[in-house]
Amino acid sequence: MYHEHPLRILRYSAKNIWLLLFPLLRGIQAFHFDPEGIYAWLRGAWFDILILGVIIMFGLVRWNFSRIDITEDSIVHREGVLLRVRTAIPISSISVAIAEYPLLLIPFRGVRFSCDTRAGLLKSIDMKLLVTRKVAAQLMKCVPEVDRKKKLADIPKADIWSVLLFSVFFSSGFSGAVYIAAFFFKGGDIAQDIITRSLSRLTETTSKLTFGVLQKIPATAIAVGIFFIAAWLLSFIVNLFRYSRFHVESDSKSLNIGCGVINRRVYKITSDHINFTDLRQNLIMKLCGAVTVNINCAGYGADSQHLPVLMPIKRERKLGRSLEPLGVVGGVKLDFRPSPAGIGSYIFWPVAAALAIFPLSDLLSEFFPRWAELSLFAAIMLEIPTVWLVAVKTTATFTSGVSIYDKKLVIRCSHWTAFHTVIADKENVVKVQIYQSFLQKPSRRCTLCVWLCGETVAKYRVRALRLRDAAKIVELLEHDVRHKNEKN
């Protein structure tokens, strides 16, 4: 039997921090800025100490009743004083076990341990504990270790350039921060000109106020622009520290992943619990033949701060065959592709949006002439991502498709500006649907949607497939065909 780390006493005590309200009220009532007031406050300090002791005692009692048992087949955590809660997780059901070593906990030899199974809703972690290093080592031993004698050889290494490029492309707001910054750098000047013309009509009595307001507009716009650039830079640095020292080792049954500098994380993953792999790209990466390999597994990448990365950015042709036991297959020829004549299914809405932006801007300028310059600038800034989306969807038309061989399903598709190559076992397909709009019926084209099992919805769509090809795919997947009419 083990206890959690003694630092948990503070966490449990914090739940009764509201009791400090009584010493606070006494202090406000008794304290005055004179010798008598200070003496009166000190004389009653025993009450404050008593309340603080009661708070810590609550935490100590709860910590004492929080106990961890490791049996031959499960990890059991008991907690609660009056209402006892017992959480038992079978070792055979653990998908991911995580040991986290934050820099702030190193002096206290504290480790955050968590484990997750396929059970439960959404991405909630089934068990979270704060333990000592000794207890963490015992808990991590419960999950099968990678067999050194059977370890997969030739797994690509994540070098510093791989991590660096990954941090560049997947930092929050990489393009958005620069885009918004440009808007404010230029938009500040435009806003100043517009307001200058408007405020010039005011009387001379408000001229000082006008000058003060105008002086602040460009500075504020530039400050906001710098803020977004700094936000991306901070995100880039955080990701660089988060994924540095990325290391992967595996055998046919287990997978170990370690990453991070300031906050080191060690993952132990059961390979059989990996639902599917996802090779992700953006347009630049696709043109360069680079991919980042992700896996879908309960507990890995469960929080929004960490991506479920198996391999940071690598050339697709350099992945080799060493990752095939983990479901990563390269160089697969697509058996079913979208019809080139169905390109409209991919680019119709992006092209329509791109063509409508400037006419709407002109229309807005006619109704509000004073905002004409700002309207034009906003239209240009909106046109850039729209044209980019047209390029992405055009590329997706000629690179999407489906392939089925042995027991594997491979789907190449796009979602917004990202490209996905999803590789899954056929048994992990939970639902297949064929959508056909009334515009697709004459040409006998359709949209194929495939749902894969996982903690959250994993839906992948391939448009403009020939109807007979979609029916063949469903037949090979051994699923029932479900038709659903869809209007554009």
3-class DSSP string for 111-168: EEEEEEECCCCCCCCCEEEEEEHHHHHHHHHCCCCCCHHHCCCCCCCCCHHHHHHHHH
Burial of 339 (C-beta count, 10 Å sphere; 0-12/13-18/19+) = middle
Q: What is the pLDDT of residues 393-452, one digit of tens each?
A: 999 999 999 999 888 999 999 998 999 999 999 999 999 999 998 888 999 999 999 999
Q: What is the pLDDT of residues 61-104, one digit of tens each?
A: 999 999 999 998 999 999 988 888 999 999 999 999 999 999 99
Contact between 117 and 227 under an 8 Å Cβ cutoff? The reply is no
- Rg, C-alpha atoms of the chain: 30
SS3 346: helix
22-26, 210-214, 295-299: least confidently modelled range: 210-214
User: 54-93: b or e for each residue (b if 16 or more CB lie within 10 Å)?
Assistant: ebeebbeebbeebebebeeebbebebeeeeeeeeebebeb
Contact between 231 and 197 under an 8 Å Cβ cutoff? The reply is no
pTM metric for this prediction: 0.82
* Integer Cα distance of 372 and 363 in angstroms: 10
Tell me the pLDDT band of 107, cut-offs 50, 70 and 90: very high
* Integer Cα distance of 89 and 117 in angstroms: 8
User: 359-390: b or e for each residue (b if 16 or more CB lie within 10 Å)?
Assistant: eebeebbeeeeebebbbbbbbebbbebbebbb
Tell whether the model's pLDDT for residue 16 goes beyond 80.
Answer: no
Among candidates 157, 158, 151, 154, which has minimal Cα distance to 271? 151
What does the pLDDT read at residue 178? 58
* Integer Cα distance of 111 and 105 in angstroms: 7
What does the pLDDT read at residue 486? 44
Q: Which residue has the tokens 């609660």?
A: 80
* Integer Cα distance of 1 and 476 in angstroms: 51
In this prediction, residues 285-297 reach a mean pLDDT of 92
Tell whether the model's pLDDT for residue 474 goes beyond 90.
Answer: yes
